[in-house]
Structure 1
Amino acid sequence: MPGAGTSINALPKISLHDHLDGGLRPQTIIELAEPIGFALPTTDAAALGTWFADQADSGSLVEYLKTFDVTTGVMQTREGLVRVAREFVEDLAADGVIYGEIRWAPEQHLTRGLTLDQTVEAVQEGLEAGIALVAQAGSRIRVGQLITAMRHADRGLEIAELAVRHRGNGVVGFDIAGAELGFPAHNHRDAFDFLAKAFMPVTVHAGEADGLESIRGALFDGRALRLGHGVRLAEDIEIGREDEENTYVTLGPVAQWVRDREIALELSPSSNLQTGAIAAWGDDLLDHPFDLLYQLGFRVTVNTDNRLMSNTSLTKELALLSDAFGYDEDDLEVFQLNAVQASFLPLDEREDLADAIVAGFATV
């Protein structure tokens, strides 16, 4: 575990799997809902935060996703998107994040007349405003947008084209998200083909609500460089016992490929518990295959997924893992360096970011 004098919050961190519509402040939701007449379960900020956490703690990804009807409902105007994005960056910086890739689905923010391009521009405006405010406060943070297509919809190619169109305006990559089971990656093969020809990096939600076939699809159809969650990759790992003292581990072909190619796993411990992604192994953090994957040499990264729904932060997720598995500062540094190398930044910028992580851990 980190030493008594170590503040995990003060350690520099990288956030790769963080949903914009999953990280709103409860008070912001209340203030954005009132002028547009959007009905909320409660208008008390503390109670609303509790409502999100309770509703999300369902053991089902489908039920978990229903809470987003509320957050996306108040993110339908330019002003709402700008504010949410600005505050999101401030909250990342307060959590010690120095680089974050923020994912969101523009197609879910069109009910009040915005175009796809206008939503991206609004979010970028908010992100840049947040970066400026963080700088004024004496800190530094970088962020990039991951443009997401909803896997149950039929707009994958259109959203992929949107991502490429804005790659010079803050967009660093592409993702598909939403209901995983029954909506395989190959439904969006035309989008992935387009992205591959444009050399746009891709991460795909896979191995959360569906198993190995979903991961295969992410790798084959999506050409994914990272797996969003990917926790059920552990289904392709066999642990046996040679005798009373010795065990053996055998990797299946999918797990072997992911490990050998250093394809990053965007693991989100608290969220994985809430959605039932680790149900095959148990219902406690100690049952999470995170440590197994780490010890076997997979490129594991630690993420929040949705800060509001999971009532969490990157600091909290790292603390939970440290308590569960006895990790120390060296382990936490490995997780951040894994995330640096998996980020969608150019190589020289990743090297600079890695230097910042090493320097930051050395001084805390």
Structure 2
Amino acid sequence: MSAPTLETIRIAPKVLLHDHLDGGLRPQTVLELADAVGYSDLPADTGPALGDWFRVAAHSGSLERYLEPFAHTVAVMQTPEALHRVAFEAVEDLAADSVVYAEVRFAPELHLERGLSLEQVVEAVLAGFADGQRAAASAGTPIVVRCLVTAMRHAARSLDIAELAIAYRDRGVCGFDIAGAEAGYPPTRHLDAFEHMREFNGHFTIHAGEAFGLPSIHEALAFCGADRLGHGVRIVDDITDDPASGRRLGRLAALVRDNRVPLEMCPSSNVQTGAVASIAEHPFDLLARLRFRVTVNTDNRLMSDTTLSQEMARLVEAFGYGWTDLQRFTINAMKSAFYPFDQRLALIDDVIKPRYAVLAG
């Protein structure tokens, strides 16, 4: 059995649960959209230079500074045409990386500066995703892409966004999320939004346990009822060394593992924000060995200059994973998707397992 390499991982079927639309633009697209809308504040005037700027700026050591470069991508995503193009290209890029299922998230409330309504924003993105999926199928790289609508945790529109999630759930929106700086903005500020999602049997994930610790995870699960945790990397703070058993799980960590709460882990992004010091020191491997439901994700492909294949390859290099491990992480993600059970099972049994069997053979 040959060890996975970046080249072979690129052809393996992959599942992506945590990817931000406004963090995954092509640098050249940012330039062209800025020119179209008259946005003149970009820090570079060529695609390669702009890509380098985003990567360096995002490698900031804190979540708050990591989020600052998004002002440029959001600024050029204020028209239906721009939103459609960015969504379409996201599908193209993911399909080219052999992603077979993806949930891509964005915050509709950030795209209203030129007079669009929340509904118009969502419809433009969904149309881009739909057109992208048709093009990918025609090119022989079929992919399913669904949308998570995100509310900003420092703002006061979360109930509006939760209502959008329910209104559009039969048209491509699969769930709801809150994002933004964690410190000072606990998820319990948005209980009415989560109650709305539960009332209508909607799915939601919460950014928790990235830049803030165990209290953020506890609130997301105990008070808000999150289905998944965005990042969740700080759950490791509730795991201690035990001379007898090797590791001892605290009550919160045990709850997360016992209830199979999916962890949407984004290794490169966690290094950039200072959540961990390096990929080699990332708790992903510890959590994987302890059989938490870990999944591999990109977070922001532009800011982290990454793809899902590259994220997997970095984990292979750091921890020596083989094809069996990568298949497990992929199936973890597919099991955790906000997608009907029979369709999840079909992707696992008809696409993921057979193609990994060939790669591992």
TM-score, normalisation: structure 2: 0.97
- SS at 1:254's partner residue? helix
Q: 1:5 to 1:77 in 2, by over 3 A?
A: closer
**Runs (5+) with no aligned partner, structure 2:** none
Task: Tell me how far apart the structure 2 counterparts of residues 209 and 22 of structure 1 sit (CA, whole Å).
Answer: 18
Question: Aligned-residue CA RMSD in angstroms?
Answer: 1.2
Choose which of 247, 255, 258 in structure 1 pairs with 2:253: 255
Q: Compute the displacement of 1:135 (Å).
A: 1.4
**Runs (5+) with no aligned partner, structure 1:** none
Contact 1:16 1:101 in 2 (8 A): yes
Contact 1:202 1:222 in 2 (8 A): no
Counterpart of 1:327 in structure 2 is 321
Counterpart of 2:354 in structure 1 is 359
- SS at 1:76's partner residue? coil
Q: Compute the displacement of 1:229 (Å).
A: 0.2
Counterpart of 1:276 in structure 2 is 274
* 1:66 and 2:53 matched: no
Choose which of 297, 305, 310 in structure 1 pairs with 2:291: 297
Counterpart of 2:21 in structure 1 is 20
Q: 1:251 to 1:5 in 2, by over 3 A?
A: closer
Counterpart of 2:172 in structure 1 is 170
Corresponding residue pairs, total: 356
Counterpart of 1:139 in structure 2 is 141
* 1:30 and 2:57 matched: no
Q: What letter is aligned with 1:142? A: V
- What is the 5 A alignment of 1:211-250? 211-242=213-244, 248-250=246-248
Task: Tell me how far apart the structure 2 counterparts of residues 230 and 191 of structure 1 sit (CA, whole Å).
Answer: 21
Counterpart of 1:52 in structure 2 is 54
Q: Deviations over 1:106-132 (max 9, x none)?
A: 000000011000000000110011111
TM-score, normalisation: structure 1: 0.96
Choose which of 296, 304, 311 in structure 2 pairs with 1:310: 304
- Percent of residue pairs identical: 53
Task: Tell me how far apart the structure 1 counterparts of residues 84 and 326 of structure 2 sit (CA, whole Å).
Answer: 32
Q: Compute the displacement of 1:265 (Å).
A: 0.3
Q: Compute the displacement of 1:359 (Å).
A: 1.2
Q: 1:27 to 1:156 in 2, by over 3 A?
A: same
- SS at 1:7's partner residue? helix
Q: What letter is aligned with 1:21? A: D
Choose which of 262, 265, 271 in structure 2 pairs with 1:264: 262
Q: What letter is aligned with 1:120? A: V
Task: Tell me how far apart the structure 2 counterparts of residues 263 and 76 of structure 1 sit (CA, whole Å).
Answer: 35
Q: Compute the displacement of 1:4 (Å).
A: 6.3
Q: Deviations over 1:241-290 (max 9, x none)?
A: 35xxxx62111111000000000000000000000112xxxx12111100
Moved over 2 A (4+): 1-6
Q: Deviations over 1:79-123 (max 9, x none)?
A: 000000000000000111000000000000000011000000000
Q: Deviations over 1:204-251 (max 9, x none)?
A: 000001000000111123211110000000000001335xxxx62111
Contact 2:22 2:74 in 1 (8 A): yes
Contact 2:98 2:141 in 1 (8 A): no
Q: Compute the displacement of 1:3 (Å).
A: 4.5
Q: What letter is aligned with 2:195? A: D
Q: What letter is aligned with 1:195? A: M
Q: What letter is aligned with 1:37? A: G
Choose which of 207, 210, 218 in structure 2 pairs with 1:208: 210
Q: What letter is aligned with 1:258? A: V
Contact 1:56 1:274 in 2 (8 A): yes
